[in-house]
């Protein structure tokens, strides 16, 4: 599904000097129909009670879904924008890394729907999120 020219270096370079890079999101794997990125659970991503901030999980999910959608488009002709996102926070975490794995639910001409499962280093589910992306013409 993803083009062969899509690389981790390209994904990580695209996110330089953005919110994603500011909070430490790093793409780590490209599969045939999924992307994985990790995010540290540290002072940049926790809330005052020293657990992962739900908003940080949403940033990870939207970063993954938007970049997955963009990878399927001719960006000279179209671009993706988040239309709606939801997240269910299942379990808290206070240190280490979380890993988001995004997969497609629907790839249409004008919308995509992506699911991100965020897990800890032991593969326990931390959050599940669904992102709807509008595909806009330039």
For residue 37, what are the contacts with CB-CB under 8 A and spacing of at least 6?
A: 11, 25, 26, 27, 28, 60, 63, 64, 99, 100
Query: Which residue out of 9, 62, 115, 122 is catalytically annotated?
Result: 62
Active site residue 62: yes
Measured CA to CA, the distance from residue 25 to residue 18 in angstroms comes to: 10
- Beta 97-107 vs 35-40: how paired, if at all? antiparallel
* Residues identified as active-site: 62
């Amino acid at each position: 599904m993803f083009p062969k020219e899509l690389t981790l270096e390209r994904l990580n370079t695209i996110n330089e000097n953005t919110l994603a890079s500011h909070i430490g999101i790093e793409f780590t794997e490209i599969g045939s129909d999924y992307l994985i990125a990790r995010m540290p659970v540290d002072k940049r991503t926790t809330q005052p009670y020293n657990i992962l901030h739900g908003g940080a999980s949403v940033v990870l999910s939207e970063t993954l879904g938007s970049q997955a959608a963009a990878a399927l488009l001719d960006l000279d002709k179209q671009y993706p924008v988040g239309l709606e996102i939801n997240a269910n926070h299942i379990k808290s975490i206070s240190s280490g890394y979380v890993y988001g794995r995004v997969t497609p639910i629907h790839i249409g001409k004008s919308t995509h729907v992506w699911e991100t499962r965020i897990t800890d280093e032991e593969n326990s589910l931390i959050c599940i999120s669904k992102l709807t992306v509008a595909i806009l013409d330039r």
